């Protein structure tokens, strides 16, 4: 990625919250998360790194099993899928 492309990508990512995972390892471990994601979920980057990309550490009492299964299926497959899922911050909110 050249400097110009990198600047455009960084500019476009402002305000977004995201993780990047390694699909070549067994649990598709998170290898990067941006500050926005850390702030949104209340975890530090160190706490998030190497967790599964399914973000199971954000599941809570109202996280539906069907939504969990749909998200896991989408991540393991090659289909794009829209999943509505309840996730929780570290403080339980």
**What is the value of pTM for the model shown?**
0.78
Measured CA to CA, the distance from residue 62 to residue 88 in angstroms comes to 9
Backbone CA torsion sign across 67, 71, 77, 79: positive
Q: Per-residue pLDDT tens, the chain, 93 aa: give them.
A: 566 665 555 555 668 899 999 989 888 999 999 999 999 999 999 999 999 999 999 999 999 999 999 998 888 787 788 999 999 999 999
3-state secondary structure of 20: strand
- Looking at CATH, the fold of the domain delimited by 3-76 is given as Beta-Lactamase (3.30.450)
Q: Which residues of 14-46 are buried (b: 16+ CB within 10 A; e: fewer)?
A: eeeeebebeeeeeebbbeebbeebbeebebeee
- Determine the pLDDT at residue 31: 96
């Amino acid at each position: 990625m050249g400097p110009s492309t990198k600047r455009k990508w960084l500019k476009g990512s402002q305000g977004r919250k995201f993780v990047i995972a390694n699909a070549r390892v067994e649990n598709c471990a998170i290898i990067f998360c941006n500050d926005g994601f850390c702030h949104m979920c209340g975890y530090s980057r160190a706490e998030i790194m190497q967790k599964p990309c399914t973000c199971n550490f954000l599941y809570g009492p109202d996280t539906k099993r069907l939504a969990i299964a749909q998200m896991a299926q989408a991540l393991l497959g090659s289909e794009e899928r829209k999943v509505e899922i309840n996730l929780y911050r570290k403080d339980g909110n």
